[in-house]
Amino acid sequence: MTPADAGPPTRGAGGDELLELTAGQALSRIEAGDLGADEYFDAYADAAAGDELNAYLWRAERGGGDAGGENLRGAPIAVKDIFCTEGIPTTAGSRILEGYTPPYTATAVARLADAGARVLGKTNMDEFAMGSSNENSAYGPVLNPWDRSRVPGGSSGGSAAAVAGRLAPWGIGTDTGGSIRQPAALCGIVGLKPTYGAISRYGMIAFASSLDQCGPLTRDVTDAAILLRAMEGRDPRDSTSVGIEGGVELPSREDLEGLRFGVPRELAAGAEGIESSVAENFKATLALIEELGGELDEFELPSTRNGISAYYVIAPAEASANLARYDGVRYGARDREADDLLGMYERTRARGFGAEVKRRIMLGTYALSSGYYEAYYGQAQKVRTRIAQDFSAAFERFDFVVTPTSPTVAFGLGDKTDDPWAMYMNDQCTVPMSLAGIPAISIPSGLAEPEGGGPQLPVGFQIAGRAFSESRILDAAFALEQRIGFG
Amino acid sequence: MIDREQVLHVARLARLELADEEVDRMARELSGILDHVDKISALDLDGVEPTSHVVALENVFRADEPEPSLPRERALEQAPDPAEGAFRVPSPGAS
């Protein structure tokens, strides 16, 4: 399925066979004694050391330190640089945190370590997770391993590029409006945004607290289930975390008999902004769902038309409050030239934040300011209610809602940087699920030609379900993944 | 539309110093974004409950048991200017 000249560069000749295994396959080999845990880790430490995609901001040495648990058998994992890691630099892609080394570790990462995983590296990202192309990193853009003149998506672009480019077996990221699913789609891998509350946000640097959620970026659906299972659960340090009742089952389903899939007119083939080759691929994937016995029906999610508008009030509003903490007092950079406190705050923040972060802080501050609060923030929260209600109604008829993950395949570096709204529209199909708090997965559904021509690039297919229905989503995604046979 | 004056007011609220050319660019870009966002202001949503949080949780309590917190020296380790066991800052009234 993957043409040798368009695939990730480490594939094929010269590619190490070890790096082609899914993490689940490698774990089985380690368990059977056919592969050494250190050999596996070191193969990736070597691969990551040769990173030409700018996917990593920090990399572990060979050997990688001790693993805390058994299940994940010392496997290496790429961790988005938004997760605090004790003793390992954590920047969130921002100059304002350059050189910051947290005194504690995020719960999600600690759980992975407790299960036996070892941090392979910290991955590049859009500054404070604000972006859909990774071009907002203070440490330079990440390149898409399928075509280095194109973006990997964002904001978890470093994790996505590392996993697709054979620089990591799997990784974790965060998704506020699509930041796991969209880069997964653009890089041809699996990305899962769990239900809000499934995984603790403790130690995950906050962007928009009512939306942020941690999740896996992996080579296949099984690997996503393995990571979700290791990370989910209630954490006393995050009062919004509740975990997934009944835990997470590894997927095994082979057909889609009896399952009902809803196709929302506002977000599917034919909707405004969806590139034609993406729409074609989406329709072909719907045909595969029918072949597997799934039932399809079109329906409407009318309030999602206002999804991006509501999101770009709510997320910046929450961000403007969350990012108030970067003031040069307790950690991070400080401007030394100002001689009074207010001047120190203003100059520290002016020099520490990049253009997109400033734009969102300004937008959020404006939306929350006296006289505008009801018209913007209050109204956006009501749109959010409507979107959640639309989904609740949909799930009375359907088991799943399916859409293309991204309206386009990977676009060129610099193509959308001059038009913030065009960049925001990359998330038109992923933002509604975030606002509703429901889980959604993106799986690769084949290749499509970019608008304007060029080698074919990966397309993502999104499957969303009811809150805490991760095991069912993973099962359906698994059946479809086997039928698609990508990679 | 959002003008230079409003940008400067909001930047002051947000504790952000903006260079002169940034003020104009910000006015232009924010106006562009608000043109799109403004369509939600016009929606009739009277009687719709706002959603601030999607998980139905009420009053998450825990037992009030003292636990050790981050030691002072660890908390100060990353500070740009620690002094006498505290965070030192420029005087609020120097100017």
Q: Give dist(CA A363, CA A317) in Å, integer.
A: 7
Q: Is A453 exposed, middle or buried (0-12, 13-18, 19+ CB in 10 A)?
A: exposed
Nearest C-alpha in B relative to A197: B55
Q: Residue A233 belongs to what domain range?
A: 20-261+395-484
Express each pLDDT in A133-165 by its tens digit: 999 999 999 999 999 999 999 999 999 999 999
Residue A269: per-residue pLDDT: 82
State the DSSP string of A133-200.
SSTT-TT-PPPBTTBTTB---SSSHHHHHHHHTTS-SEEEEEESSSTTHHHHHHHTSEEEEPPTTSS-
Contacts 24+ apart (CB under 8 A), B67-75: B70/A103, B70/A104, B74/A103, B75/A103, B75/A330
Express each pLDDT in A288-301 by its tens digit: 999 999 999 999 99
Residue A9: per-residue pLDDT: 54
Residue type, A275: E
pLDDT surpasses 80 at A12: no
What CATH number did the domain enclosing A430 receive?
3.90.1300.10
Q: Which residues contact A198 (CB under 8 A, 6 or more apart)?
A: A213, A228, A232, A241, A242, A243, A244, A439, A468, A470
Residue A104 confidence class, pLDDT cut points 50, 70, 90: very high
Residue A4 confidence class, pLDDT cut points 50, 70, 90: very low
Q: Which SS3 state, helix, strand or coil, does residue A309 take? A: helix
Asked whether the beta carbons of residue A385 and residue B48 sit closer than 8 angstroms, the reply is yes
Residue A63 confidence class, pLDDT cut points 50, 70, 90: confident
Give the gap in angstroms from C-alpha A147 to the nearest C-alpha of chain B.
30
Q: Which residue has the higher pLDDT, A271 or A387?
A: A387
Asked whether the beta carbons of residue A309 and residue B75 sit closer than 8 angstroms, the reply is no
Asked whether the beta carbons of residue B30 and residue A366 sit closer than 8 angstroms, the reply is yes
Residue A2 confidence class, pLDDT cut points 50, 70, 90: very low
User: Residue A329 is nearest to which of B34, B89, B95, comparing CB atoms?
Assistant: B89
Lowest-confidence region among A183-197, A460-474, B33-47: B33-47
Residue A452: per-residue pLDDT: 87
Residue B48: per-residue pLDDT: 94
Torsion-angle region of residue A93: left (phi > 0), alpha (psi -120 to 50) or beta? left
User: Residue B16 is nearest to which of A103, A313, A349, comparing CB atoms?
Assistant: A349
Nearest C-alpha in A relative to B41: A375
Residue A130 confidence class, pLDDT cut points 50, 70, 90: very high
Asked whether the beta carbons of residue A343 and residue B90 sit closer than 8 angstroms, the reply is yes
Sign, Cα dihedral of A459, A463, A467, A470: negative
pLDDT surpasses 80 at A53: yes
User: Residue B29 is nearest to which of A306, A359, A380, comparing CB atoms?
Assistant: A359
Residue A69: per-residue pLDDT: 78
pLDDT surpasses 80 at A242: yes
pLDDT surpasses 90 at A436: yes
Asked whether the beta carbons of residue B55 and residue A437 sit closer than 8 angstroms, the reply is yes
In chain B, where are the structural domains located?
Answer: 4-41
User: Residue B50 is nearest to which of A236, A382, A437, comparing CB atoms?
Assistant: A382
Instruction: Show residues of chain A in contact with B80, CB under 8 Å.
Output: 328-329, 331-334
Q: Give dist(CA A340, CA A401) in Å, integer.
A: 54
- Residue A179 annotated to the active site: yes
User: Residue A365 is nearest to which of B14, B37, B43, comparing CB atoms?
Assistant: B14
Identify from A382, A417, A424, A438 which residue to disrupt to test chain B contact, counting B C-beta atoms within 10 A and taking the largest count.
A382
The CATH code that applies to domain B4-41 is 1.10.20.60
Q: What is the mean pLDDT of chain A?
A: 95
For residue A226, being part of any structural domain is answered with yes
Sign, Cα dihedral of A374, A377, A381, A386: positive
Q: Determine which helix (DSSP H) or strand (DSSP E) holds A218, and give its type and residue range.
A: strand A213-218
For the whole model, what pTM was predicted?
0.96
Q: What is the mean pLDDT of chain B?
A: 91
- Using the Cβ of A71 and the Cβ atoms of chain B, whether some distance falls under 8 Å is answered with no
Q: What is the ipTM of this complex?
A: 0.95
Q: Which residues in chain B (55-74) have CB-CB distances under 8 A to chain A? A: 55, 57, 60, 62, 70, 74
Q: Please state the rounded mean pLDDT for residues A470-475.
A: 98
Buried b (16+ CB within 10 A) or exposed e, A411-443: bebebbbeebeebbbbbbbbbbbbbbbbbbbbb
pLDDT surpasses 70 at A10: no
For residue A101, being part of any structural domain is answered with yes
Asked whether the beta carbons of residue A385 and residue B50 sit closer than 8 angstroms, the reply is yes
Express each pLDDT in B39-84 by its tens digit: 998 899 999 999 988 877 778 888 899 999 999 999 999 999 999 9
Question: Of all residues in chain A, what percent carry a pLDDT higher than 90?
Answer: 91
Nearest C-alpha in A relative to B47: A382
Instruction: Show residues of chain B in contact with A362, CB under 8 Å.
Output: 7, 10-11, 14, 16, 26, 30
pLDDT surpasses 90 at B7: yes
Lowest-confidence region among A2-11, A237-246, A331-340, A374-383: A2-11
The first and second tokens of residue B77, run together, are: 């380790």
- Using the Cβ of B13 and the Cβ atoms of chain A, whether some distance falls under 8 Å is answered with yes
Torsion-angle region of residue A64: left (phi > 0), alpha (psi -120 to 50) or beta? left
Residue A20: per-residue pLDDT: 95
Are A251 and A481 in contact, with CB atoms under 8 Å apart?
A: no
Residue A7 confidence class, pLDDT cut points 50, 70, 90: low
Q: Which residues in chain A (301-320) have CB-CB distances under 8 A to chain B? A: 306, 308-310, 312-313, 320
For residue A348, being part of any structural domain is answered with no
Distances (CA, A) of A76 to A86, A273, B80: 17, 38, 33
- How many separate domains does chain A show? 1
Residue A193 confidence class, pLDDT cut points 50, 70, 90: very high
For residue A420, being part of any structural domain is answered with yes
Q: Give dist(CA A280, CA A276) in Å, integer.
A: 6
Q: Which residues contact B86 (CB under 8 A, 6 or more apart)?
A: B76
Residues for chain A: how many in total? 487
- Using the Cβ of B50 and the Cβ atoms of chain A, whether some distance falls under 8 Å is answered with yes
Asked whether the beta carbons of residue B6 and residue A366 sit closer than 8 angstroms, the reply is yes
Are A60 and A47 in contact, with CB atoms under 8 Å apart?
A: no
Residue A8 confidence class, pLDDT cut points 50, 70, 90: low
CA A212 to chain centre: 10
The first and second tokens of residue B7, run together, are: 């940008």
Are A341 and B90 in contact, with CB atoms under 8 Å apart?
A: yes
